Amino acid sequence: MSVRHTLIVLDGLFEDLDIESRVAAEKDWAIARWDGSDAMLRSAEAVVHVRTKVDRAKLEMMPACRVVGRFGTGLDSVDQDAARECGIHVVGVRDYCIPELTSHTLALAFALDRRVDAVRRGRLSADASWQEMAAKQPMSGRTTATVIGFGSIGSAVTRALIAVGITVRVVTAHGAEAARRAGATPTALDEALGGAGFIFLHAALDVKSAGMIDAGRLAHITPGAILVNTARIGLIDENAVAAALDDGRISGLGLDAMIAPESPLRAFLRDERMLLTPHVGWYSARSAAELRRRTVQETIDAFHDIKGTKLEVGEAK
């Protein structure tokens, strides 16, 4: 069977393209890494990426392109408005890392709540009695949580919290009934922030949600709450969150993100009140293979759906 199309990889997750090439071949496509040239972009019918910023300039440089796929769930790396105007469909992959990211999220939250890092850093001896630990590092026994966003990860985190006896309020635009069925209470954002021992961010990053946890919103939270963000760092105002951590408005911050050199949060890298992991919450060997496979599969499928008029150009998948 002859190869009719080539999928261009702008940048990938790993050095090899073994999984991607195998999936493409099964669909009668070839895989090629972008060589950095404009000529290669101009001829591209479909591309995939993970970190490359696919802005208007890059999209307009690809007149033959019909689909942009991303190795991941979030699509904030692509200029969505420009993609629609250029007639380009944008594809992300959902539900590939639910066990991994859910357990990672809870690990950050509970480690902060139980002061695990205090022992690791030698602030408490490993053989300290519970009385000594309680005296030096009081544990409040948090039993309430707010989950912002009720997609695949937010809903999984919600169910896990309820399973261990935590009362959960959920902030969601479209999943109120599903939240109720899970045993949570749908609540407006500002109201949900008050009284929560834990606050979990699982919203998509877009123009409306960017910087949603700012100084104004932090004023609504109960002092001493733990904030965990394993979604996108852009959901928080880093200056406001750093100030809240510094003055005790929040007692713990869990982040799964790469933070910029100039971020004020870098002041807390050695502080036991912040646990930072470098955007690895999604990862396992299983989830990485699944992501690589499905990104190629769904990008190529979307291309053929458009060609077969099953999808309108720009329609979300």
What are the DSSP calls for 79-137, one per residue? -HHHHHHTT-EEE---SSSHHHHHHHHHHHHHHHHTTHHHHHTTSS-TT--HHHHHHHS
The per-residue pLDDT of the chain, averaged, comes to 91
Q: Which residues touch 103 (CB under 8 Å, ≥6 apart)?
A: none
Q: What is the pLDDT of residue 142?
A: 86
Residue 118 has pLDDT above 90, yes or no: no
Residue 61 has pLDDT above 50, yes or no: yes
**pTM for the model:** 0.88
Q: Provide the pLDDT confidence category of residue 122 given band limits of 50, 70 and 90.
A: low
Q: Which of 238, 296, 271, 256 is nearest to 50 (CA)?
A: 296
Q: Provide the pLDDT confidence category of residue 2 given band limits of 50, 70 and 90.
A: low
Residue 312 has pLDDT above 60, yes or no: no
- What is the C-alpha radius of gyration for the chain, rounded to an integer number of angstroms? 22
Q: Provide the pLDDT confidence category of residue 4 given band limits of 50, 70 and 90.
A: confident
Residue 105 has pLDDT above 50, yes or no: yes
CA 196, 110, 242, 262 torsion: positive or negative?
Answer: negative
Domains and CATH numbers, the chain: 5-95+285-307 (3.40.50.720), 98-277 (3.40.50.720)
Segment 225-232 mean pLDDT? 97
Q: 201 near 158, Cβ under 8 Å?
A: no
Cα distance between residue 147 and residue 230, in whole Å: 12
Between the alpha carbon of residue 51 and those of residues 48, 69, 71, 111, the distances in Å are 10, 12, 9, 30
Give the whole-number percent of the chain exceeding pLDDT 90: 84
Residue 315 has pLDDT above 60, yes or no: no
Q: With the CA atoms of 250, 231, 11 and 48 taken in that order, what torsion angle do they form, in degrees rounded to the nearest 10?
A: -160
75, two tokens = 């699509």
pLDDT in tens, 133-151: 555 555 567 899 999 999 9
